[in-house]
Amino acid sequence: MANKKFNVMPGFGLTMGFTLFYLSAIVLIPIGGIILKTLGIPWSEFWRLATTERALAAYKITFGAALIAALANAVFGTLLAWVLTRYEFPGRRFLDAMVDFPFALPTAVAGLTLANLFAANGWLGKFLVPIGIKGAFTPLGIIIALTFVGMPFVVRTLQPVIENFEREVEESAATLGAGRLRTFLSVIAPSLLPSIITGFALAFARAIGEYGSIVFISSHHRFVDEIVPFLIVEQLEQFNQAGALTLAMVLLVFSFALLGVINLLEQWANKFVN
């Protein structure tokens, strides 16, 4: 009788039980509580609260700014990951460490710092505002804040892929007569596409629920630069639990839909690469 392979970890039953308990306590139970609370709201009232003029304007700002910020991170985060991985230069390790700075910095501090930088009398604002670029207390300020907090997701997703990418493939393409542009479009870009999509989706999802960094850089004017998380907090402060639950459920449903789209895009990208 063959001996069972030794496994340093406990058995499947124990680890699966702990996994289910942990996920239930941290994720499933809170989500289930929101869903059960929302089910107590009549559908007509739910629809009215979810489609008010103010809520629709907040959706537009939230999803629009998150999309623009995620697209910017997908482009410039890819370039940053490529430079940090492929080139050696003075200060590279410092720049690489700075990529994680948005993770360590409290989001409220980030928002306050960005607001001071881009305000009319700030270090950057005093040069940008006179030429018409207002980076604080405008929708542009929200995009800047969301780009700041979402940037590490793209860079850290792409760096391992670029590090493991075999340079022999690029050399083979060059040997066969392919130029740099054709090598990038035909060889490198398809291999990076699944990771770029994953990083973009992570940055987008992170931006949708962001609140702390936007508190100070947004003016919170209705129909101008008011985001959904801020509107939810305001509804709670006014003891309008139904309104807050409705808006939270809209974001929750959109997040689940986004998760499904991400999985489909990743499957399509993997098939495209293969």
| Spatial distance between the Cα atoms of 264 and 274, rounded to a whole number of angstroms | 15
Q: Write out the two tokens for 135.
A: 């980076």
| 85 CB neighbour count, 10 Å cutoff | 18
Q: Both tokens of residue 128? A: 């940008």
Amino acid symbol at 171: E
User: How many Å separate Cα 273 from the centre of its chain?
Assistant: 24
Dihedral sign for Cα 159, 22, 246, 43, please: positive
Identify whether the C-beta of residue 48 lies closer than 8 Å to the C-beta of residue 250. Answer: no
DSSP classification of residue 174 = H
Nearest CA to 37 among 262, 249, 231? 249
pLDDT digit of tens for each residue in the chain (274 aa)?
A: 445 555 665 667 777 888 888 888 888 888 888 889 898 899 999 999 999 999 999 999 999 999 999 999 999 999 999 999 988 889 899 999 999 989 888 888 999 999 999 998 989 999 999 998 998 999 999 999 999 999 999 999 999 988 887 776 766 766 766 667 777 777 777 888 888 988 998 899 889 989 988 988 998 888 988 999 999 999 999 999 999 999 999 998 988 888 788 778 777 766 655 6
Question: Among 85, 89, 97, 259, which Cα is nearest to 188's?
Answer: 85
268-271's contacts with Cβ under 8 Å and 24+ in sequence apart are 269/193, 269/194, 269/197, 270/194
* pTM for this predicted structure: 0.86
Q: What is the pLDDT of residue 6?
A: 59
Contacts of residue 15, defined as CB under 8 A and 6 or more positions apart, other chains included, come to 9
Q: Which domains does the chain have, with CATH numbers?
A: 63-227 (1.10.3720.10)
